[in-house]
Structure formats: structure tokens, C-alpha cells
Amino acid sequence: MDPVHDLHLHSTASDGSLSPAALVRAAHGQGVTALALTDHDTTAGLAEAADAARELGIRFIPGVELSASWERKTLHVVGLNIAPNTPVLREGLARHAAERARRAQLIARRLASAGLPGLLEQARTYGAGMVTRAHFARALCDLGHVKTPADAFRRYLGRGKPAHVSGRWAGLAEAVGWIRAAGGVAVLAHPLRYKLTRSWLQRLLLAFKAAGGGALEIVGGNSTPQEIRTLTGHALRQGLAGSVGSDYHGPEMAWSRPGRLLPLPAAVTPVWALW
Ligand code: AMP
Ligand code: MN
Ligand code: MN
Ligand code: MN
């Protein structure tokens, strides 16, 4: 049997709600036999996940999801099959950790100015890992200020809203460079989520390829067959491989499950052929 891949998953090391070991067990329970943990700007969960995968006899690919800036937009670049202790990557992640701490303080200050104090303290109760906007969204829910995390983004945390703070992330080429320095493959995550026109997306893919990017995430948890066809065309034109990943964050997102993914079209080189 071919392995069942899911190469984009989150744990409590960033904004997922399962611990790395519990996440690996959940993915295994859904039939996944090769998985990557890709927490936002941190590799802190990889060792625990690798141990859990070894116990279950499934393939583990060390990963990370880097935030990156390009043309004043924030993009996500997944690094797969990375060596997490590489100095260049570690230094980059330390920089992003400091930036996340700075940004979290500012977000909390903006929320306090809007009459909502104590959100950073609440956000920190969800784990010792990286604080993301998803933590603030959950905190806003738990303190009864909004009904759902999506509402928190609509009212406070999204672009143009009162508590939105742009992150000062590494540039796209720099982020790709950290992944390559660590021996990994750089994958442009969820390419259709950036609300780019077709010509902007083509510009992005050219820049990504020129920077050393290796693959496009072609199949995501909610991908439609039409979206998969569109991205397959882009990957073939740019000479990029294809990746698959659910972007699962935990069981409270009832619509998403690890491993529940449409197949990667046979025309594209699967990213796992590169390792
Ligand atoms: P950050 O990297 O700190 O900007 O946080 C981004 C994270 O927030 C994403 O990885 C998602 O997990 C989550 N997120 C972003 N937008 C939304 C939304 N509209 N509704 C729910 N969660 C979201
Ligand atoms: Mn997230
Ligand atoms: Mn992402
Ligand atoms: Mn993600």
C-alpha cells in the first residue's frame, strides 16, 4: 500500500489544540502513515512527535510553517524534511519568536484599549508555545467577548480591524533560505488563500521558484477538484513539485481531519519523491 501522507499539521507547540504526541496518534487513527508536524515558526514539538511516530511505526517528516513577507503581504512557507538544529534555521526561528512576543504584546495593548483587558494572560494559558492570533481568538471566545474564533478575526484581529498588528517577518527569499540551509524542501502553503489575482499569483510563484522554492501545496483540507486542477497547472508550468496537507489544528475544527485529502494528481512530482 502507498503511504497516506498529511504534510501540514499543527500542535500545541503553536496554535493546534493537541499535544504533538496526541496529534500523531490522532493522525494515525485516521489512517495517516506519513506525516509532518509544521507548527508556526517553531520546531519545539518535533522531538515529541518523532517519538510518538516511531512508537506507532509511521513515517515522520520534521517540518515547520514559516511566516514570510512578500510585497507587503504575509505568506506561509512550509519547510519539510528539515534538520531542526541547523544554526541558520535556529537563528531565524529565534528572530521570529521574538517578533511574535513583541506582536502579542501590541495586540494585547490594542485589545485593552478597546476595553478588553487580560487577553495575553488568557492566551498564554493554552500552552507554552508560540502565541499566535489564533490564541487571541480563542481567548476572546473563552472570555465571552465573541461567539467563534472567526468572529474574533472579523471584529478585532483581521486585517484593518482594531487589534490587527502586522508581523515583521523574514522576506520570502530569506525564509526559503532558512529551510534550504536546514536541508529541507520549501513548500508554498495554501497558495489560493492569499487572495491574489492570477497574475499576482504567477509573480509570486516566479519569485518563490527563483528563491529556491521546491513545491506548491496543491491539496489542502478543503480543496475543491477545480482548485487542485488550477494549482497543478501552476506547479507544472513552474517546475514545482506538489504537496498535500490538511492544516489540521485540532478536533474543534469539526470540518477538518488529518489525512482527509483528495489525491495529488499523477502529473505532478510528489514532494516526498524529493527526500
Ligand atoms: P498569526 O500567524 O499569528 O497571524 O496567526 C494566524 C493563524 O490564525 C492561522 O494560522 C490560523 O490558524 C488562524 N486564523 C487566521 N485567520 C483566521 C480566521 N478567519 N478564522 C479562524 N482562524 C484564523
Ligand atoms: Mn494556524
Ligand atoms: Mn498557514
Ligand atoms: Mn498551517
Residues having CB within 6 Å of any atom of ligand 1: 15, 40, 67, 132-134, 137, 149-150, 153, 249
Ligand 4 center from residue 42 Cα (angstroms): 12
Rounded to whole angstroms, the Cα distance separating 257 from 27 reads 8
Residue nearest to atom 8 of ligand 1 (CA): 134
User: Tens digit of pLDDT per residue, the chain (275 long)?
Assistant: 789 999 999 999 999 999 999 999 999 999 999 999 999 999 999 999 999 999 999 999 999 999 999 999 999 999 999 999 999 999 999 999 999 999 999 999 999 999 999 999 999 999 878 899 999 999 999 999 999 999 999 999 999 999 999 999 999 999 999 999 999 999 999 999 999 999 999 999 999 999 999 999 999 999 999 999 999 999 999 999 999 999 999 998 878 899 999 999 999 999 999 99
Q: Distance from the CA of 116 to the center of ligand 4, in angstroms?
A: 27
Which residue's alpha carbon is nearest to atom 9 within ligand 1?
134
Ligand nearest to the CA of 14: 2
Supply the pLDDT for residue 52.
98
Q: Which of 146, 274, 27 is nearest to 133 (CA)?
A: 146
The protein residue whose alpha carbon is closest to atom 11 in ligand 1 is 134
Ligand nearest the Cα of residue 134 is 1
100 and 130 Cβ atoms separated by less than 8 Å: yes
| 89 C-alpha to ligand 1 centroid (Å) | 23
55 Cα–ligand 1 center, Å = 31
Predicted pLDDT at 272: 98
- The residue whose C-alpha atom lies closest to atom 18 belonging to ligand 1 is 150
> Nearest CA to 26 among 237, 259, 231, 192?
259
Spatial distance between the Cα atoms of 49 and 52, rounded to a whole number of angstroms: 5
Amino acid at 1: M
pTM of the model: 0.98
Q: 59 CA to middle of ligand 2, Å? A: 23
Atom of ligand 1 nearest to the CA of 15: 12
Residue 41 Cα: closest atom of ligand 1 = 2
Q: d(Cα 43, Cα 65) in Å, to the nearest integer?
A: 9
C-alpha cell read off for 14 = 503553536
Given its phi and psi angles, is residue 41 left (phi above 0), alpha (psi -120 to 50 degrees) or beta? left
Nearest-CA residue for atom 12 of ligand 1: 134
CA of 189 to the centre of ligand 3 (A): 6
* Radius of gyration (C-alpha) of the chain in whole angstroms: 18
- Main-chain dihedrals φ then ψ at residue 43, nearest 5 degrees: -115, 15
**C-alpha cell recorded at residue 71:** 510585497
Residue position matching grid coordinates 519523491 = 273
Strands across the sheet containing 73-80 = 5-6, 34-37, 59-70, 73-80, 185-188, 215-220, 241-245
